[in-house]
């Protein structure tokens, strides 16, 4: 498990046996898919979420005979606890998120603050907890689940867009500082993923725009995408696993977009 530069053909299979990964927002959606994928690659996964019931279901669904999934019920607004939970991890996947769709002048300040805490300040504190051990061993992988909204803005999503833009910047700083220590840091930036969070967004957008949920999907969410479908959580998890593998050791400070051509405009 050294940080040596590959001198020959690099295996294409991601083997994370012996690694410890922490995935936030792991009870459902992208986080659940990432936890299962990393465990399937052999990692011991600390699955962090507020939803204890969802975590129990995740643990029960964990792959047999490979890595394991451990339930870590944690509120990421408890920033000290978040930092402590990340100690001793080799892989950090910052995924947890929340969303509210409102015009700026109607956006509740307390919700704005909570979104920034969970989606930007908590990743910073998790990095603080994880990096010392990554640096000590000369190897580490940080994957931040950003969004096309980390690269582009949309109306009515002030907190989410601000948090994701901030996460993109934080990821780049971690990449620059971590390079000398064998630590990579990247973002995976998908378009709309088929998750409960997106299902709730559809309802919020329908209310905000005064149109039907079906029109929200076709005319608002996918209006700028060339590929007219939602991204599946498992597709995002494959990108995360790729960035954790030996074949991605030279990729750092990047944002891997999975937006169906949205940002190609």
Question: Which residues are tagged catalytic?
Answer: 160
Residue among 146, 222, 124, 131 nearest 179 (CA): 131
CA atoms within 13 A on the CB side of 261: 9
């Amino acid at each position: 498990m050294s940080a040596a530069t590959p001198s020959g053909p690099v295996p294409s299979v991601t083997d994370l046996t012996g690694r410890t990964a922490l995935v936030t927002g792991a009870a459902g959606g992208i986080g659940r898919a990432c936890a299962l994928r990393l465990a399937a690659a052999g990692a011991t996964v600390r699955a962090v979420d507020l939803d204890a019931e969802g975590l129990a279901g995740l643990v029960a669904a964990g792959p047999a005979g490979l890595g394991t999934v451990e339930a870590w019920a944690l509120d990421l607004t408890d920033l000290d606890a978040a930092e402590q939970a990340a100690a001793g991890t080799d892989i950090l996947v910052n995924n947890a998120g929340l969303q509210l769709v409102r015009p700026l002048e109607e956006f509740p300040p307390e919700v704005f603050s909570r979104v920034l805490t969970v989606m930007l300040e908590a990743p910073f504190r998790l990095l603080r907890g994880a990096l010392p051990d990554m640096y000590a061993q000369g190897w580490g992988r940080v994957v931040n689940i950003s969004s096309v909204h980390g690269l582009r803005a949309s109306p009515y999503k002030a907190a989410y867009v601000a948090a994701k833009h901030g996460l993109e910047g934080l990821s780049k700083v971690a990449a620059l500082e971590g390079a000398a220590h064998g630590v990579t840091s990247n973002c995976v930036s998908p378009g709309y993923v088929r998750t409960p969070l997106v299902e709730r967004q559809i309802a919020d957008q329908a209310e905000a725009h005064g149109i039907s949920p079906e029109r929200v999907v076709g005319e608002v969410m996918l209006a700028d995408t060339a590929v007219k479908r939602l991204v599946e959580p498992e597709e995002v998890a494959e990108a995360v696993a790729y960035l954790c593998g030996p074949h991605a050791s030279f990729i750092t400070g990047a944002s891997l977009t999975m937006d169906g051509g949205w940002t190609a405009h």
